[in-house]
Amino acid sequence: MTMVRFDSVGLRYGTDAEVLRDLDFQLESGGFYVLTGPSGAGKTSLLKLLYLAQRPTRGRITLFDEDIETLGRDGLPALRRRIGIVYQDFRLIEHLSAFDNIALPLRIAGFGDEDIEQPVREMLAWVGLSDRARAKPPTLSGGEQQRVAIARAVIARPDLLIADEPTGNVDAEMAHRLMHLFAGLNKLGTTVVLATHDLSLVKEVPGAVMLRLDDGALKDPTGGLKHPPGRVA
């Protein structure tokens, strides 16, 4: 089943040249996709299109079988709730503890305290932060904040997980552990798209499909896309 489909998608900011162009591809449900490419190639911009923070300036994006262009305002929040996002700059809520940041998606989904405690404790343990549950983000290191952001993104078992450089602030051992967490989530059915400079991470997930952005155009070096981009170099 296709989860994401891009047809002739382009994106420009203001009147600048297009930062993404001629994007034609499909992502299948249950896939694990690793987006790579040099700094400035457009990785974050592509992820923003995926998590609906940015509209394309041309072309069509279909997500969960919905054409996002024709989707009314009311439809967007429902779609977004199916997506877990790890932002490059974390975007934690500063006045909430690590525990409460991670609990947020469950609270928004209407779970009561009695149903929240255990899954949040498990997530804290998974990311190695059980002893930092009550700490607020400004008192956490960059790597710790990143792990809170990851825990928050995955706790509600999203259909689609989108992560922008999710191991950029942690050491090699923690990066390995986090990739293991993403791979486990993927095995449970979550489609994963993560952007990274660190190509060694691709090897950690057998079957991961590598997508390479170069100067705004997409390539498919591992040949895993069902409908690869038309302009493979």
Residues that bind ligand ATP (CB under 6 A): 13, 19, 37, 39-45
In angstroms, give the least distance from the CB of 227 to ligand ATP: 22
Dist. CA 105–CA 116, nearest whole Å: 10
Judge contact between 32 and 206, C-beta under 8 A: no
User: CB-wise, 43 or 132, nearer to ligand ATP?
Assistant: 43
Output the smallest distance, CB 27 to ligand ATP, in A: 18
Closer Cβ to ligand ATP, 14 or 72, answer by number:
14
Nearer to ligand ATP, 29 or 44 (CB): 44
Q: How far is the CB of 217 from ligand ATP (least distance, A)?
A: 12
Cα–Cα–Cα angle for 113, 164, 91, nearest 5°?
Answer: 45
Residue closer to ligand ATP (CB basis): 26 or 54 = 54
DSSP string covering 157-212: --SEEEEESTTTTS-HHHHHHHHHHHHHHHHTT-EEEEE-S-THHHHTSTTPEEEE
CA distance 155 to 98: 13
Q: Which residue lies nearer to ligand ATP by CB, 105 or 167?
A: 167
CA atoms within 13 A on the CB side of 132: 21
Task: Check: CB of residue 98 under 8 Å from CB of residue 128.
Answer: no
- Residue 56 CB, nearest approach to ligand ATP (Å): 13
User: Which helix or strand (DSSP H or E) is residue 66 part of?
Assistant: strand 66-67
Pairing verdict, β 191-195 and 209-214: unpaired
Q: How far is the CB of 168 from ligand ATP (least distance, A)?
A: 9
Which CB, 42 or 56, lies closer to ligand ATP? 42
Least Å distance, CB 13 to ligand ATP, is 3
